[in-house]
Structure 1
Amino acid sequence: MFLKRTFTFLLCLFSLSLQAQDWNKKQCAVVLTYDDALNVHLDKVIPALDALGLKGTFYLTASSAAFTKRLNEWKKVAANKHELANHTLYHPCDGSLPGRSFVSPEYNLATYSVRRLTDEIRMTNAVLQAIDGKQERTFAYPCGDTKINGVSFVDAIKGDFIAARGVKGEMVSKSNPDLYNIGSFMINGQSGEELIELVKKAMQTNSMLVFLFHGVGGEHNLNVSLEAHNQLLRFLKDNEKKIWVPTFVEATKYLKTSGAAK
Structure 2
Amino acid sequence: MRKQGFLLLMLVLAASFKLLANEPTAVWQGKASAVSLTYDDALGSHLDTVAPQLQHYGFLATFYVVINSAHFYQRLEDWRKLAVAGHELGNHTLFHPCNGKLPGREWVRAEHDLSTWSVARYQQELQVANTTLAALDGRTQRTFAFPCGDLKAGETSFLPLLPQYFIGARGVESGVNLPKQTDPYMLKLFDATNLQIAQIGPLLDSAKGSYAIFMFHGVGGDHPLNTELEVHQALLAELARRQDSIWVAPVVEVLASMAKAH
> Which TM-score applies when normalising by structure 1?
0.94
1:43-74 per-residue CA deviation (whole Å, 9 max, x = no partner) reads 00000000000011000000100000100011
Matched, 1:39 2:44: yes
Tell me the SS of whatever aligns to 2:187.
coil
From 3, 12, 15, the equivalent of 2:16 is: 12
Moved more, 80-89 or 168-177: 168-177
CA RMSD, 1 decimal: 1.4
Q: For 2:12, give the aligned amino acid.
A: T
> Higher mean Cα deviation, 37-46 or 185-194?
185-194
SS at match of 1:190: coil
Corresponding position of 1:57? 62
Question: Where do 5+ consecutive residues of structure 1 fail to align?
Answer: none
Match of 1:245 among 244, 248, 251: 248
User: What are the equivalent positions in structure 2 for 1:100-249 lying under 5 Å apart?
Assistant: 100-203=105-208, 206-249=209-252
Give me the identity figure in percent: 40
Query: How far did 1:216 drift?
Result: 0.5
Contact 1:89 1:124 in 2 (8 A): yes
Aligned AA (1:146): L
CA distance in 2, matches of 1:10, 1:177: 27
CA distance in 2, matches of 1:91, 1:223: 18
Letter in 1 for 2:15: L
* Structure 1 pair 7–157 and aligned structure 2 pair: CA distance change class (3 A): closer
Matched-pair contact (CA < 8 Å) for 1:193–1:228: no
TM-score (norm 2): 0.94
Report whether the alignment pairs 1:88 with 2:93.
Answer: yes
Please list the CA deviations of residues 64-110 of structure 1 after superposition, one character each: whole Å capped at 9, or x if unmatched. 00000100011110000011110000000001112211211121111
* Cα separation, 2, equivalents of 1:10 and 1:157: 42
CA distance in 2, matches of 1:121, 1:7: 53
Distance 2:257 2:69 in 1: 31
How far apart, in 1, do the equivalents of 2:53 and 2:126 lie?
29
Find the aligned partners of 2:84 and 2:238 in 1 and give their Cα distance. Answer: 25
**CA drift at 1:20:** 5.8
* Runs (5+) with no aligned partner, structure 2: none
Tell me how far 1:4 sits from its aligned partner.
Answer: 2.6
**Which residue identity lines up with residue 69 of structure 2 in the other structure?**
S
**Which one of the candidate residues 74, 78, 102 is aligned to 2:79?**
74
CA distance in 1, matches of 2:22, 2:207: 16
- Which digits, 9 at most, give the CA deviation of each residue in 1:1-31, with x for residues without a partner? 5253353243234223313645332111111
SS in 2 for 1:253: helix
Q: Tell me, in whole angstroms, the C-alpha distance in 2 between the residues paired with 1:214 and 1:196.
A: 21
Q: Is the 8 A contact 2:118 2:154 kept in 1?
A: no
For residues 43 and 72 of structure 1, what CA distance do their matches in structure 2 show? 13
Residues of 2 paired with 1:69 and 1:88: CA distance?
17
